[in-house]
Structure 1
Amino acid sequence: MKLPGIGRGTGPGAWTLAASGCILAASIALAACAEEVATAPQDVAATLAVQLTDQSLRTVRWREDLDLAVRIGASVVRVDFNWPWTETEPGRYDWSTYDALATEFSKRRLRPLFILHRPNRLHGRSLDSRDSGDQEPVVAPPRSADEITAFGRWAAAAALHFKALRPIWEIWNEPDGEGFWPPRPNPTEYTRLARATCDSIKRVVPDAFVVGPAAAEMPTVWDATKPLVNEVLRDVGLMRCLDAVSLHTHRFGQTPETVSRDYAVFRKIRAGLSAREIPIVDTEWGDSVYRSGLSEARQASWLTRMFLTNIVENIALTNWYCLVDTGDDDGEMEDRFGLVTRTGRLRPAFLAYRTLSQALRGHTLRNVIARFDPETAKGTTVLMFCRPDNACKIAAWTTEMPDEPLRFVIQGWGISGPIIGHLGQRLPSTPQDDTSATLSLSTNVQFVPIKPLSNDQNGTALRR
């Protein structure tokens, strides 16, 4: 099933060689010059999401936050859809908080990604501090048959009530962490809940788009054994119902390109379990600029590379966590993921997100001319994105700067307009000739409008 507005495209390794050639004017070997996408994916803009936390919904500025989401060019906004907020009496639902949100989503033509989660005291066992590790009593997630039925009934009612918005429904958030599945994660319990909930939603809204498990820990080259992911993939009933597997891919200081080797691990596990090959959505990826984290400049640089890496990996949706800082403590990682500070200052990453959206809105990935080595996460990446009218742009970067300037030459193409940097600034052009386009690469992405230099080039390299 295809997520409306989001295309699957083709998987890594499924590209076909294009007729255009390329020459790399540096001592870097490429496995292939150009690979043409066999079937065109969806508009890049449709894959861009950003996160609002439930804290945001309790503030007076949440409408302004939605305006910020529009300004950066996000198409989807991920936000908590909290069970205890909406079922305060058994079997009676108060949607007023989310009705107000739905109205503002509709005005701005934003699509919600609603996270169905949070334990409800009406349908869950209280855990004291000895069980939960918290100072205050907390409630366990739904475990018994009655609790699971209550959660599924509530989720189905929500899906029916908000059907017109075409939400993406995500079942729980990070159930592989104690903070969201107290007192300790239990993959079997989660899959039981997710399967029943997905089935309940699809019974009342058959075309609802449902994802899970929002895993905090995806398999990696360092640790491929992730119990939650394995349990979900081997559950035939759940995999038959879900429309996409949702993963969280925070790198915690690693370069964005390292995610490719982890996706390879995930896909190998999925193939080994003979699981259905449904799309992958990345529902949390961000980098914190807290005291021990990234600089704001690096956060911005890596944001663009992050989204583009996921596009190359055929990830149907990428959500940046999060839009606005959640706290004021510069020493706390969780407080400093925002594109915007709590005082309203726009970080460079805000400009990077907006530039990416503006540069590639209306474009789809057409050719992978070069890409970094997925195993080492190092190297040069040159991607061609085109509009339906065959107006094209290059997005290019290299992971590490060499001692001498790195130039990349694409034969048969010319630069047709200003080169735009990752923050929206104009960059100087390199000398051009009548036979090729020459790019001067850095670790920051640049967007370069290009045009074919002959009719033959237009008829072959841009052929769908």
Structure 2
Amino acid sequence: MAQQISATGLEFVRFGVWTNAMRTPAYRRQVEQAFDAARDANLPVIVTVRDTAPLTKGDTTDSAAQDEQLRAAAGRLSATIVELSRNYGSGILAVELWNEPEFQKYWPTGHIDKTFPVYMRAVCAGLQEIRGTTPVIGFAFATMPLSGSMPEHLLRDAGVPSNGCIDAVSWHAYGKSAVEIAQVSEYVRANFGLPAIITEWGVSSGRLATENGQAAAIAAFLRERNSMRTPLISIYEWQNTTNAQNSKERNFGLLDAAGAQKPALGALRSALKGK
């Protein structure tokens, strides 16, 4: 798969590493194999690191005890990132902190306005030794980081930009126009002094859409990418996912679940050739 991605003309690959799963040898081997495959295909990696389990005990009512649990969980995440940086640093394009924390599905701890700042400030403090060597981006927001938005509040509450924790703000731009994306880029640069990059954008061929409609949407989007003022766009995703919840989620791939090329891949190739 990595060789195919490289041959298409794409310049990096993105995948996730779950901190709590790193305790098992089988999962650690999976991570190693993924980095090896990317390296062999000359693809640097954006590695999105998060926990898939709650960061605090559900019965914790004491705020000081909860904060202690959050900082302990943060220490585990930052230790995982430092380990990844040591083992695969030359192959890492950036470490991305978390994924869509606005959603309860991805921030299972709850009370994000109170728990995210405590947790993420502690994560950032634990990344001091890799600062300047491994780029760190955050926080893969699901919504546009604009004035008054939850992403803006979370960025400021986490100490961005004063703590120097992240090198770019990452977000997911599904359904957003080139004008909207440029607006985000300008706002983030003006208010945080950082670039805004897109670590997920894609179009599904499922539910009420079609494969040809997916291809047309990708072609139209990429024709405008130079006006978006973002230095990086990650397309979601390479191949259809068979175990997603619904038809839309299962059909974002440029390839179908069996590995056959969809028209979307041809549209992507044409866009990359045209630069």
TM-score by length of 1: 0.52
- Counterparts of 2:172 and 2:46, CA distance in 1: 14
SS in 1 for 2:48: strand
Residue 248 of structure 1 contacts residue 284 of structure 1 at CA under 8 Å; is this kept in 2? yes
Residue 286 of structure 1 contacts residue 322 of structure 1 at CA under 8 Å; is this kept in 2? yes
- Counterparts of 1:119 and 1:196, CA distance in 2: 18
Deviation at 1:234, TM superposition (A): 5.9
Residue 140 of structure 2 contacts residue 199 of structure 2 at CA under 8 Å; is this kept in 1? yes
1:332 aligns with one of 232, 247, 252: 247
* CA spacing shift, 1:200–1:124, aligned 2, 3 Å: same
- Counterparts of 1:71 and 1:313, CA distance in 2: 25
1:83 maps to a residue whose letter is T
* CA spacing shift, 1:183–1:201, aligned 2, 3 Å: closer
Match of 1:86 in 2: 22
Deviation at 1:116, TM superposition (A): 0.4
Deviations 1:276-332 (A, max 9, x none): 32111100111111122x322222122133234333222111011111111278952
What does 1:44-443 align with in structure 2 at a 5 Å threshold? 65-88=1-24, 95-120=28-53, 124-125=56-57, 144-182=70-108, 184=110, 186-204=112-130, 206-219=132-145, 225-233=148-156, 235-238=158-161, 240-251=164-175, 258-261=177-180, 263-264=182-183, 267-268=186-187, 271=190, 275-292=191-208, 294-327=209-242, 332-360=247-275
Residue 322 of structure 1 contacts residue 337 of structure 1 at CA under 8 Å; is this kept in 2? yes
1:317 maps to a residue whose letter is L
- Counterparts of 1:306 and 1:104, CA distance in 2: 29
Residue 219 of structure 1 contacts residue 266 of structure 1 at CA under 8 Å; is this kept in 2? no
SS in 1 for 2:221: helix
* CA spacing shift, 1:307–1:277, aligned 2, 3 Å: farther
Q: Which has the higher strand share?
A: 1
Residue 198 of structure 1 contacts residue 210 of structure 1 at CA under 8 Å; is this kept in 2? no
1:355 maps to a residue whose letter is S
Deviation at 1:208, TM superposition (A): 0.9
SS in 2 for 1:290: coil
* CA spacing shift, 1:86–1:268, aligned 2, 3 Å: closer
1:117 maps to a residue whose letter is R
Q: Which has the higher helix share?
A: 2
- Counterparts of 1:289 and 1:185, CA distance in 2: 35
* CA spacing shift, 1:143–1:334, aligned 2, 3 Å: farther
Deviation at 1:215, TM superposition (A): 0.4
1:304 maps to a residue whose letter is A
* CA spacing shift, 1:171–1:300, aligned 2, 3 Å: same
Where relative contact order (Cα < 8 A, 6+ residues apart) is larger, the structure is 1
SS in 1 for 2:170: strand
Match of 1:459 in 2: none
Deviation at 1:356, TM superposition (A): 1.9
- Aligned residue-pair number: 267
Deviation at 1:176, TM superposition (A): 0.6
1:229 maps to a residue whose letter is E
* CA spacing shift, 1:298–1:143, aligned 2, 3 Å: farther
- Counterparts of 1:329 and 1:96, CA distance in 2: 24
- Counterparts of 2:184 and 2:45, CA distance in 1: 30
SS in 2 for 1:144: helix
SS in 2 for 1:316: coil
Deviation at 1:124, TM superposition (A): 4.6
5+ residue gaps, structure 2, are 60-65
- Counterparts of 1:115 and 1:300, CA distance in 2: 27
CA RMSD of aligned residues (A): 3.0
- Counterparts of 1:237 and 1:217, CA distance in 2: 17
Residue 46 of structure 2 contacts residue 92 of structure 2 at CA under 8 Å; is this kept in 1? no
Structure 1 window deviating more from structure 2 (159-168 vs 304-313): it is: 304-313
Deviations 1:308-367 (A, max 9, x none): 43332221110111111112789521111111110222111111112222332xxxxxxx
- Poorly superposed stretches of 4+, deviation over 3 Å: 233-239, 265-271, 328-331
* CA spacing shift, 1:162–1:83, aligned 2, 3 Å: same
Residue 153 of structure 1 contacts residue 200 of structure 1 at CA under 8 Å; is this kept in 2? yes
- Counterparts of 1:94 and 1:351, CA distance in 2: 34
TM-score by length of 2: 0.84
SS in 1 for 2:136: strand
Deviation at 1:249, TM superposition (A): 0.5
- Counterparts of 1:103 and 1:168, CA distance in 2: 16
Q: Which has the larger radius of gyration?
A: 1
Residue 176 of structure 1 contacts residue 187 of structure 1 at CA under 8 Å; is this kept in 2? no
